[in-house]
Structure 1
Amino acid sequence: MSKRAEPTLLTDQVYSMIHESIMNGDLPAGARLRVRDLAEQVGTSVMPVREAIRRLEEAGLAERVPHRGAVVKGLTLAELVHVYDVRRLLEVEAARLGAQRISAEDCDRMQAEFTLMRAAVDEGRVVALLDHDEALLSILYEAAANPVLLQTIRNLWNHCRAYKIVGAQGSLDSGGDDPLWRFQERLVAAARDRSGESAAAVNEESLLDATDRIKALLATEQAASADAG
C-alpha cells in the first residue's frame, strides 16, 4: 500500500509547489511549464511533474499551446468577463447570507485582515494584499454556513488569480490604490451592521469595478503587443 501511495504523494507535492508559484505570480500567465526543468527544480523524475501539470490543466490553471507545450493559462478578455460574472453571482449572495449571520467576533477577524491588507497595499505587496483580501472574504462567506458555496468561490479565486494580480498591480502602478481597499472597508461595516443587502451591494459594486479595471489593463496590454508585433 505504501509503495502505491508514494507516487501519488510525490505528485501532490509537485502539484502544490507549481500551484503556489502560479498563485504568487512567480509563474505568470503564459509561462512555459517545461517538464524537465521543473523536475530538476523540485528534485524528482519527470513522471510526477507530468501528472501535476495534467492536474493543473484540469483545474484550469494550465493549457496546451501548439509548439510550446504546457503553459500557465493565459489571460483573455472573454474569460475575464465569464469568470467575474460567475463570481458576482455567487459572491453577492454569499455576502448577503454571511452578513445576516456573522458574529461580532468574526467581524473583528475581518477587521484584523483588513488592517493587514491595508499595510500590504501601502507597502506594494500584491500577493499579500490578495491573500488578506481573500481571508477577509472567507470569514464573511463562511458565516453563510454553506461549505459548498465557499469552496466553489475559492476554486474561482484560484482560477482567476492571475487576473487579480494584474488588477492589483495595475492599481498600485497607477498610484490609485483606493479600489483595492475601499470596498472591503465598507464590507466590514456592512457586516458589523448585519446588513445583508448592504454587503451584497458592496460586493456587486466591487466586482464590477474590478472587472472594468482589469478589462482596461488587458486591452492596453493587448494593444501594446499588437503594436510591437
Structure 2
Amino acid sequence: MSVVRPEPLTIRSAEDQVYEALRDQIIHGLAPLTPLRLNHLAASLAVSTMPVRVALRRLESEGLVTTLPRRGSRVAPLRVEDIEEIQMMRSRIEGLAARTGAPNVDEVGLAEMRRHLASLQKSIKSKDIDGYVAHLRAFEDVCYQASGWPRLTRMVEDLRRSAERYLRIAVAGGGDSVLTSRFWERFYDAVEAKDGAAAEGALNEALMWTLEWIREYLTGSDQNPVPNANKPQRVAKATTKQ
C-alpha cells in the first residue's frame, strides 16, 4: 500500500498575512512610536480586529511593538541595548552557521556567492539599500544552508530581520557608509578555502562594524530619520482573506 505524501500547505491565515504585512512595514521604516490603532489597522488591511490583535501580540513578543494599558500599541522605539543584544546573538548563531557551512560549499555554491557579491558591490555604489540587503542575504545563505541545519538557518533569518530595521533607519539617516563589501570579500575567501573559523571571523567583524555604526547613529539621533516621523504614518493595505 502506497503512502500518500501531502503537498505543503500554501494557504496562509489572516493572522499570518496581517503579521507579515505589519512586520514588513516596521522593518522597512515605519517610524518608531507610530501609533498602531486596532480599528484603523483592521480597516486598512480589510480584516476584522481579531487577526490584528494576534499579529500585534506576535510583533510585541519580537520587540517590534510596544503596548501600554489604555494607550494601545505603537511601533517600538529603537534602543541601543536591543541592537546590541541582536548583534551578539547573531554573532553566536550566524557564526555557527558560517563555521559549519563553509567547508561544505561546492563550486556551484561558490559561483553563486560570486554573483551575489558582485551585485552587492553594485548596490553599494548606487546606495541601493534594498539591493544590498537582498544580495547580502542570498550571498550568506549559500554558506549557511550548506550547514545542513534548517533550524539553525531559520533562527538566522529571524535575527537578521530584527536587525534589518536598525540598518535601514541608520542608512536613511545618512549612514550609507555602513554599507561595505570588504568583510564579505574576506568571508568569500574563507568559504572558498573551506576555512570555517575564518568565515566566522569575517562575519563577526562585519556584525561588530555594523553595530558600531548603528550605535553611533542612535546615540546622536532623535530617531526621526524621515520627515514628520512623529505623525501617524498610514499603514499600507495588504491582500488578506478571512
User: Partners in 1 of 2:175 and 2:223 — Cα distance?
Assistant: 18
User: Partners in 2 of 1:130 and 1:204 — Cα distance?
Assistant: 17
2:37 to 23, 34, 50: 34
Aligned length, in residue pairs: 213
Aligned to 1:4: none
Aligned to 2:57: 54
Q: CA deviation at 1:67?
A: 6.3
Unaligned stretches of 5+ in structure 1?
Answer: 1-7, 225-229
Q: CA deviation at 1:211?
A: 1.2
Alignment CA distance shift 1:152-1:20 (3 Å): same
Q: CA deviation at 1:114?
A: 1.9
Task: Decide whether the 8 Å contact of 2:27 with 2:162 is kept in 1.
Answer: no
Q: Over the residues paired in the alignment, what is the CA RMSD in angstroms?
A: 2.3
User: Partners in 1 of 2:127 and 2:82 — Cα distance?
Assistant: 27
Q: Percent identity?
A: 26
Unaligned stretches of 5+ in structure 2?
Answer: 1-11, 225-242
Q: CA deviation at 1:124?
A: 2.2
Q: 3-state DSSP class of the match of 1:113?
A: helix
Aligned to 2:46: 43
| Residue type at the aligned position of 1:160 | A
Aligned to 1:118: 121
Q: CA deviation at 1:167?
A: 4.0
Once the two structures are superposed, residues 160-197 of structure 1 have per-residue CA deviations (whole angstroms, 9 ceiling, x without a partner) of 22112234445xx35635x5222112212221221212
Q: CA deviation at 1:110?
A: 1.6
| Residue type at the aligned position of 1:183 | F
**Normalization by structure 2: what TM-score?**
0.79
Alignment CA distance shift 1:152-1:41 (3 Å): same
Task: Decide whether the 8 Å contact of 1:29 with 1:73 is kept in 2.
Answer: yes
Task: Decide whether the 8 Å contact of 1:28 with 1:162 is kept in 2.
Answer: no
Q: 3-state DSSP class of the match of 1:70?
A: strand
2:168 to 159, 162, 165: 165
| The 10-residue stretch of structure 1 (56-65 or 82-91) with the greater mean CA deviation from structure 2 | 56-65
Select the structure that is richer in helix.
Answer: 1
